[in-house]
Amino acid sequence: MANVAVVGAQWGDEGKGKIVDWLSSRADVVVRFQGGHNAGHTLVINGVTYKLSLLPSGVVRPNKLSIIGNGVVFDPWAFIREVTAIKSQGVEVSPATLQVAENVPLILPVHSALDKAREEARGAGKIGTTGRGIGPAYEDKVARRAIRLCDLGDEAVLKEKVDILLAHHNLLLRGLGAQEMKPADLLDPLREITPQVLPYASVVWKTLDELRRAGKRILFEGAQGSMLDIDHGTYPFVTSSNTVAGNAAAGSGMGPRAVGYVLGICKAYTTRVGSGPFPTELFDDVGELIGQRGKEFGVVTGRKRRCGWFDAVMVRQAVKTGGIDGIAMTKLDVLDGFDEIKVCIGYRLDGQELDYLPANAAAQARVEPIYETFEGWKDSTQGARSWAELPAQAVKYVRHVEELIQAPVALLSTSPERDDTILMNDPFQD
């Protein structure tokens, strides 16, 4: 029985929360392996809506162990706010059900201050970050000056690391015309939050190894999407971590063979938040209608998402770079009622046709989509739980998408409700 990694196959916001929740009924452990509290997941369970950013989606399910792996950047204040929020909704959370890797790097107030100052300084060239300090925290990790969760238990080490950190960041803040920070600006809030977060610290890699050896099913949950990957995405308009499934092992402290099946999530159309290239973006009434039907607003930021037709070239590229074995397609019902539906099957760049998205940012901004047009369907797909309940044209659409992206559709989601899902191939049984 395969352990499963779930990753986005577009620019994030593909509906991973629902799919992870759906799969968590088959898993024993759910692990977040990258990203931070900039990733919004919405779960609807028995009519109750849960909005998660940092916590693994399995946390709302009883008898599941949830883990935040070392590949995540961890905001302790956001963590406590989120734990408090779901506790108020009746969810039981404790160190017995939720563990955080002791070596996870922390997001501190100085990181968000620097993130916002740099984004403001970019002016028209903004990347479109959430301003929550994700990027600067990852930078500190790579530069070997990060403060990690385990450091909170050692006052002497913490003081020394804060001094080193601020010696670097205050230079940057000063250069950007932003207010510098004193050691007390970090130490005082850290001392206050430490008793609340440190009990959740755990030797996660050891726990996961023991669980794997015991035959437990592990579900690895990614954030954002493949085209926001720091290496394989639309650089520089990307996130600051590897979002592809190859990071599931490193970001949780396990070997690569721990991941048996990679499930990529994509919408039946395409959305993007923030700046960056978007070849199939629609600026007309159709794009507006897709956004309204799909309720395309960010869970974390509330920002309106850009909408466009399905880009098979981009998803196929995500399949290849991410090692995706099967696709879970979400929000098929948003396309109900259209007379015709378009799918991007290639790009045109300076008179040449391409079957991939080039790495060069200027080229990405200039590519034009080559479309194939499909006949739409009038009957509703909303709430369908079997192929027999789908209109014939909807089935044809899904089947042709499979051919274009060179991967099978393993799951088909037809509404935000957990059980409105058509299963073609159970990843855990692969």
Do the Cβ atoms of 40 and 75 come closer than 8 Å? no
Give dist(CA 152, CA 102) in Å, integer. Answer: 10
> Cα 333 vs. chain centroid, distance in angstroms?
22
- R_g (Cα) of the chain, nearest Å: 22
13 annotated active-site: yes
The binding site consists of 12-18, 38-42, 130, 144, 224, 239, 299-305, 331-333, 413-415
Biggest CA pair distance of the chain: 67
Q: Which of 141, 161, 232, 267 is catalytic?
A: 141
Give dist(CA 19, CA 263) in Å, integer. Answer: 10
Instruction: Give the tokens for residue 201.
Output: 């610290």
Residues in the chain: 430
Residue 85 identity (one-letter amino acid): A
Do the Cβ atoms of 82 and 108 come closer than 8 Å? no
Give dist(CA 297, CA 271) in Å, integer. Answer: 10
Instruction: Give the tokens for residue 394.
Output: 């909807």
Instruction: Give the tokens for residue 26.
Output: 């088959």
Task: Please report, to the nearest 10 degrees, the dihedral formed by the alpha carbons of residues 210, 214, 216, 219 taken in order.
Answer: 30
3-state secondary structure of 150: helix
Give dist(CA 192, CA 185) in Å, integer. Answer: 12
C-alpha dist (Å) from residue 14 to 105, 225, 310, 409: 26, 8, 12, 14
169 annotated active-site: no
Do the Cβ atoms of 22 and 410 come closer than 8 Å? no
Give dist(CA 218, CA 265) in Å, integer. Answer: 18
Do the Cβ atoms of 31 and 219 come closer than 8 Å? yes
Residue 66 belongs to what H/E stretch? strand 65-68
DSSP string for 285-348: HHHHHHHHHTT-B-TTT-PBPEEE-EEHHHHHHHHHHHT--EEEEE-GGGGTT-SEEEEEEEEE
Give dist(CA 75, CA 93) in Å, integer. Answer: 17
Q: Which of 37, 41, 232, 267 is catalytic?
A: 41
Q: Give the residue from 101, 37, 111, 108 showing the smallest Cα distance to 298.
A: 37
The binding site for IMP consists of 13-16, 38-41, 130, 144, 224, 239, 303
Tokens 């027999």, residue located: 388
Please list the active-site residues: 13, 41, 141
